[in-house]
Amino acid sequence: MNKAKIQTVDEKGMISMKAEDEKFMREAIKICERGVNAGQAPFGAVIVKNKRIIARGHNEVWADTDITAHGEIVAIRNANRKLKSVKLKGCTIYSTTEPCPMCFSAIHWARMDRIVYGASIKDAKKAGFHELTVSNKEMKRKGGSAVEITGGVLARECRKQLKQWKLLRKCGTY
Ligand SMILES: [Zn+2]
């Protein structure tokens, strides 16, 4: 009987975690949309701590003429400043596309707990970006990072952002 109860609690926990992941991913998608409409590349991210968004970022590579200004990096910089700390323990980053190796490394350096992403690096490559096709899973395994990874959250909606951006063509790839 106890066993059944525990399973129910676990299931409930998983369902609520999924709902929470989707809720925050929707926020990342909103940031992404804003960036696309402003003529930027289609990548948005939010950083969550204690169930609250503490930082947001959309890709600003073209706006800032800065090849490192990926959505995740912009969000991490904002979170570092907000918490006045280079360490972001207890934080989860929600990114519309799987973080590239550069962003994964920054997430690792910041000691973040978890990555949640929608579309994959391969999807971004298909959209025309000059991606290094090393998955987060591979980065974690090869680098020995403790970060947890959940992929494919609202993946269809996230891929739609890439398509929408292609249709609008307000900026190029890089
Ligand atoms: Zn990146």
User: What are the CA-CA distances from residue 37 to residues 45, 58, 143, 167, 168 (Å)?
Assistant: 16, 11, 36, 11, 8
pLDDT (0 to 100) of residue 4: 56
Residues of the chain with pLDDT under 70: 1-7, 9
pLDDT (0 to 100) of residue 33: 96
Using the mean position of ligand 1's atoms as its centre, give its distance from the Cα of residue 109 in Å.
14
Do 151 and 98 form a contact (C-beta atoms < 8 A)? Answer: yes
Using the mean position of ligand 1's atoms as its centre, give its distance from the Cα of residue 137 in Å.
15
pLDDT (0 to 100) of residue 164: 94
d(CA 2, CA 74): 47
Active site residue 33: no
Coil vs helix vs strand at 118:
strand
Using the mean position of ligand 1's atoms as its centre, give its distance from the Cα of residue 68 in Å.
7
User: What are the CA-CA distances from residue 4 to residues 15, 32, 170 (Å)?
Assistant: 16, 42, 54
- Kindly state the tokens that stand for 19: 């709902």
Using the mean position of ligand 1's atoms as its centre, give its distance from the Cα of residue 19 in Å.
25
**Annotated catalytic residue within 33, 72, 98, 131:** 72
pLDDT (0 to 100) of residue 67: 98
